Amino acid sequence: MPKTDNKKKNIKEKVVDLKKVSAIIQKNFIVMTRDRIRLLPLLLFPIFMILVLGFTTGNSPKHIPAAIVSFDNSAMAENIQQQIYDSQTFSVRYRVSTEDEAKRLLDSGKISVIIEIPPNLGEDIDNNIPAQIIIIVDESDSSISATSNQALGAIINNAATSITIQKLEGYQQSVSAAASALGNFAGNQQNQYGIIAQETSDAGSYLDSAQSFNKQYSNELTLSLPSSSPILIAANSTNNYDTYNNNLTNVSSPNIIYSESPVATQIKGQIAITQKFGASIAVANGKVHAAQVIATQANKNQQVLQQNYDSQVRKPLITIQTFTESSAQNIVRPLSVEDKAAYGSSGLRAIDFLIPSLIAMTIFQGAVMGMGRAVAGEKRDGSLTRVFLTPTSNTTIISGTLLFYVLFELLRASFLIIFSVIVFNIKIQGSLFLIALILILYITISTTIGMIISSVVKTEQQFQAIAMLISLPTMFLSGVFFPLQAMPKIMQSIANFLPITYAANALRGVMVKALPLQMISYPLIILLIFLVICITCVVTVFKRDIE
């Protein structure tokens, strides 16, 4: 027989024969229905779990007997005490004045909790000194301890919040007053500038009129002189004072000709007057010029001020106003916990969130253990050997066996969901198709894991041991018994490697929150990766070798 290469050989061992797959499924179905004793715990165990958890979760202890020791009579202390009285969690049986007295009550079992309000509570809070309320709990009942702490925590939190709100409201008022003062001041400033600008402008126009008066006066003076008067020539030659002045100086030279004549004397007097008058015109002109410059600058300044006022005063003012208008409560508690239902309006309970995890958990147990019987058990009693002796490929045996258990677990999951719907009135919010999709994926992974284990072990006892190793973490990290968030980091990271974490997330998302496909795509993708790995593993480790 010639040697062929390893890749090509024995292709028939890899072909899935669908007829045989259906024969295997039917065979397993008959075996399963015949083995009623095995069927019973598979259904009763999860029902028991659902019942126990359904009736216990969400029912934290109420009316825990408590005593209050208060060393403070402030309104604040009274307020907190009132809230404790009003709380459903505590039933205040005693108000005592010393801690020792309260402890005796605790020791005698008459109360389970002591709540101690320290002296000067109100005063400290008013002075911004942190204050603490003490809680002493009978630790023998952990649920009481947890609930008391939680309930008191909520009360204190409420009180702390209202104190903060009150203080904040005080700040708001001061800020508001400051804002209006600032606004007024800015307004006044603006007005002042306006007045200055107006006055400057007025000054300019006043000086203008002074100038024109001077000119008019000068004209009149000119008209009163004879037309040949050198003064007139000089005056007519220019409107400019400097040239005028020079011409006037030239005019003085006939001084020599008309000296001592009465006319000359008169002219001299006129010249002197005119000179003085010209000088006053020049000064007036200079002042007008300066007044105009000042007025222009004042206008510009006013425009800049107008622009800056918007950005530097008005906007901050609006911000301050918005702050004072918004409720202090929203600022103090931008996030809050509501007791009301978060999803839908139906008022979901803890059990609604628990059922998906519970189903995921029981399915895993059932699928893994079922495989123990299907492979390890059939190995033991030799019936698997008998199947191996027929011309049936490994892949056909794997497919047939897996498919049957996938169908069976799917039925079981549906049964449990229906049971939960009937008994606990669980409402399925999301798409049934998505639920089925998640279940099929997850069940296939679970059964495949069972098959991998049962393929690598030699006996059913070994199977039990290894299956326990995987199903116990799955059970405890499923979140059914303990919240995962309450576990140490290492446990939480182990949970990241368990398919149940993703299956329960996706299931919860669809069942409780009615999430659409794209919102659960992350867990679904992780589950798909699990599936590919598991199928690859099972095809590799599932061998005929009966050693």
Residue closer to other proteins (CB basis): 69 or 397 = 397
Count of H-run helices and E-run strands, the chain: 20, 4
Any contact of residue 483 with other proteins (CB under 8 A)? no
Minimum distance of other proteins from residue 408's CB (angstroms): 15
Report the alpha-carbon distance of residue 180 to residue 159 in Å, rounded.
32
**Of residues 34-53, those binding other proteins (CB under 8 A):** 34-35
- Nearest residue (CB) to other proteins, 103 versus 380: 380
CA 422 from centroid of its chain's CA atoms: 37
- Report the residue from 76, 387, 441, 506 that binds other proteins according to the rule CB under 8 A: 387
406/436 Cα distance (integer angstroms): 12
- Under rule CB under 8 A, residue 458 binds other proteins: no
Q: Which of residues 95-134 bind other proteins (CB under 8 A)?
A: none
> Is position 459 an interface residue for other proteins (rule: CB under 8 A)?
no
If phi > 0 it is left, if psi is from -120 to 50 it is alpha, else beta; for residue 187 that is alpha
Task: Closer to other proteins by CB, 170 or 382: give it.
Answer: 382
* Number of residues located near other proteins, criterion CB under 8 A: 32
Q: How far is the CB of 387 from other proteins (least distance, A)?
A: 6
Backbone angles phi, psi at 116, to 5 degrees: -115, 120
> Closer CB to other proteins, residue 19 or residue 340?
19
Count Cβ atoms below 10 Å from residue 412 Cβ, excluding itself.
Answer: 23
Task: List the x/- string, 392-411, binding to other proteins by CB under 8 A.
Answer: xx------------------
SS3 at position 98: coil
**Contact flag: residue 18 with other proteins (CB under 8 A):** no
Q: How far apart are the first and last CA of the chain?
A: 27
Per CB under 8 A, the list member of 7, 12, 340, 489 interacting with other proteins is: 12
345 binds other proteins per the rule CB under 8 A: no
Whether 356 contacts 343, CB under 8 Å: no
Kindly state the tokens that stand for 139. Answer: 């630790």
The residue range among 29-37, 77-85, 127-135, 473-481 that interacts with other proteins, by the rule CB under 8 A, is 29-37
Buried b (16+ CB within 10 A) or exposed e, 483-522: eeeebeeeeeeebeebbbbbbbbbbbbbbbbbbeeebbee
Per-position x/- string for 488-527, each x denoting binding to other proteins as judged by CB under 8 A, each - no binding: ----------------------------------------
Contact 375, 457 (CB under 8 A): no
Q: Do residues 367 and 404 lie in contact, with contact meaning Cβ atoms separated by under 8 Å?
A: no
From the list 12-20, 85-93, 130-138, 249-257, the region that binds other proteins by CB under 8 A is 12-20
Confirm or reject binding of residue 485 to other proteins (CB under 8 A). no
* Given 314, 381, 468, 516, the residue binding other proteins (CB under 8 A): 381
Contact pick of 382, 459, 497, 540 for other proteins (by CB under 8 A) = 382
Q: Which residues contact 176 (CB under 8 A, 6 or more apart)?
A: 320, 321, 324
CA atoms of 133 and 77, how far apart (whole Å): 10
The first and second tokens of residue 521, run together, are 């795509």
* Segment interacting with other proteins (CB under 8 A) among 19-27, 82-90, 313-321, 326-334: 19-27
Q: What is the DSSP letter of 14?
A: G
- Parallel/antiparallel/unpaired status of strands 113-117 and 134-137: antiparallel
Nearer to other proteins, 12 or 489 (CB): 12
Among 23, 332, 440, 491, binds other proteins (CB under 8 A): 23
Residue 385 makes contact with other proteins by CB under 8 A? yes
Stretch that binds other proteins, among 131-139, 154-162, 303-311, 380-388 (CB under 8 A): 380-388
- If one asks whether residue 540 binds other proteins (CB under 8 A), the answer comes out as no
Q: Least distance from C-beta 362 to other proteins, angstroms?
A: 24
CB 121, CB 163: distance < 8 Å: no
Phi, psi of 139 (to 5 degrees): -75, -5
394 versus 505: smaller Cβ distance to other proteins: 394
| Edge-to-edge strand ranges of the sheet holding 64-70 | 90-96, 64-70, 113-117, 134-137
Residue 378 CB, nearest approach to other proteins (Å): 8
Q: How far apart are the C-alpha atoms of 389 and 437, rounded to whole Å?
A: 36
Write out the residues near other proteins by the rule CB under 8 A. Answer: 1, 4, 9-10, 12-13, 17, 19-20, 23, 26-27, 30-31, 34-35, 381-383, 385-393, 544-547
